[in-house]
Amino acid sequence: MPRIDDFPWTESEIVDLAGRFPTPFHLYHEQGIREQVRGLNKAFSWCPGFRNHFAVKATPNPYIMKILMEEGCGADCSSSTELVLCQKMGLPGDQVMFTSNNTPLKEYAIAKKMGAIVNIDDFTHVEFLEKELGLPELMSFRYNPGPGRTGNVLIGDPKEAKFGFTMNQLLEGYKACKAKGVKRFGLHTMVVSNCIKVEELLETARMLFTLVATIKEQTGVAIEMVNLGGGIGIPYKPDEKRIDVAAVGAGVHGLYKELIEAKGLGPVRVVMECGRYITGPVGWLVTRVTHRKSTYKNYVGVDACMANLMRPGMYDAYHHITIHRDANPPKGLPSRESDLPDNSKDYILKPGSNVFDVVGGLCENNDKFAVNRPLDPAPLPGDVAVIHDSGAHGHSMGFNYNGKPRSAEYLYRPDGSVLKIRRAETIDDLFSTLDFPGAQAFGEGPVASIVAKARTWLRSDTAKVVLPLSLAAAFLIAQRRR
């Protein structure tokens, strides 16, 4: 099995890390994140004001945001939670792009209060925004080229995608906003995802730069900012090559000279909103092999599941997996040498082949990190299984089906220390929105209901403050009366 060359730890180091922190956990490499941003910024250093608005949805963690802010990134947010995360981290509003869809008013209100750049997904939102909140100073629109581009499995076929304006709507939108007094304009699209072909990424720049001229000709609006979207891909498979990000920057520069500068349309600020390219290859899901099972196929069970990383189950996405033997595995796992009855006749695969489905413990058959995957060494209970390239759209896409708590996140620092940047969820976290006393008293009459309400209140945060204060006050009053 090919090893990933740039995996930053030796076998004994990763086994040691897996022994120090309860598996499963996501592990990010701080220096790696910084280097990814620096590479992208260097590629676009020809463009004054270039900024990567990191797609917060990829890895929404405040520590990661802090690192990215130090490296000059802004943010791309798609929800109020992501906006508030950036606000709490002190990211200035003009470095935040709000690209949402089907957006409720309260989310626009948060974006407006922060001074975020609002990137509208739908023509009708122009009037909606004007009526409810007033139009912002800088308006940006998301373009959907429909049949003009093909998209891919992650982003979908643009003409089937729910996102963005058609060309006609785009032109009408700019005209309408200009007539309503908006002075500054941006243009955005997001049509490719996980793209490792330079040419395909350049097509997006060509499409948008050409549109800048069309918009100027047909509406008189001068676009001041073009957002090429995210979508720069990473090599998930060991035989795939890293994209030459310098070639992307140079190619976009060439198109900028040809389609913007030569036509006297500049200056236009070029920005991007890559998530995966920045954190994807420098994050790993570290798990431990819990069981082996052989029925019609060979299965390797690990202690993570699709709730920790949904991409393989959802998109059939490939994530490389490496197995690291732990000479001193933790207690409480099955024996490494178990005697199986001979079921070789039942096998779909060649008996004894080291080809496995790597599975979690969800009651869903697509809870698989890999299907028919050759693994060497053949995993044994207690081994450490590392799922690579999980740093983006990994933990953040997690969910709680079957009551699976989300795992912790750790950051490997340049000095070799490891920082917990998110604790694992507990069962109490999952139950914290439920009312057990209420459910127990449910249907048992008014007295039981009042008792249940009192018990619920006694467990509330308010009670934790009010009760000690009331007791203290009662004690003081009693003392004075004596």
Ligand X SMILES: Cc1ncc(COP(=O)(O)O)c(C=O)c1O
Chain contacts with ligand X (rule: CB under 6 A): 55, 58, 76, 99, 190, 193-194, 229-231, 273-277, 392
The candidate with the shortest Cα–Cα distance to 4, out of 357, 302, 280, 327, is: 280
The CB-nearest residue to ligand X is 230
Q: Which is nearer to ligand X, 25 or 277 (CB)?
A: 277
- Contact between residue 136 and residue 118 where contact means Cβ atoms under 8 Å apart: yes
- State the nearest-atom distance from the C-beta of 101 to ligand X, in Å: 9
Q: What secondary structure does DSSP assign to 396-456, as a single string?
A: GG---GGGPPPPEEEEE-TTS-EEEEEPPP-HHHHHTT--HHHHHHTTS-HHHHHHHHHHH
Q: How far is the CB of 453 from ligand X (least distance, A)?
A: 43
Residue 67 or 384 having the CB closest to ligand X: 67
Nearer to ligand X, 67 or 358 (CB): 67
Cis preceding-peptide flag for 377 (omega within 30 of 0): yes
Nearer to ligand X, 310 or 452 (CB): 310
C-beta closer to ligand X: residue 373 or 395? 395
What is the rounded CA–CA span in Å between residue 387 and residue 397? 15
380: tokens are 């044994």
Cα gap 260→257, rounded to integer Å: 6
> Which DSSP category does 68 fall into?
H
Is the Cβ of residue 79 or residue 456 nearer to ligand X in the bound state? Answer: 79
Q: How far is the CB of 277 from ligand X (least distance, A)?
A: 6
Q: How far is the CB of 307 from ligand X (least distance, A)?
A: 19
Minimum distance of ligand X from residue 140's CB (angstroms): 12
- 3-class DSSP state of 306: coil
Q: CB count, 10 Å around CB of 271?
A: 23
Cα–Cα dist 324/80, whole Å: 40
> Which of 238, 291, 327 is closest to 11 using CA atoms?
327
Smallest separation (angstroms) from ligand X to the CB of 374 = 28
Q: From the CB of 451, what's the least distance to ligand X, in Å?
A: 48
The smaller minimum CB distance to ligand X, of residues 323 and 392, is found at 392
Q: How far is CA 360 from CA 18, 176, 308, 370, 390, in A?
A: 17, 52, 9, 10, 16
DSSP codes, 239-251: TSPPP-HHHHHHH
- Which of 55/380 has CB closer to ligand X? 55
Q: How far is the CB of 230 from ligand X (least distance, A)?
A: 3
Residue identified by tokens 């950036």 is: 86
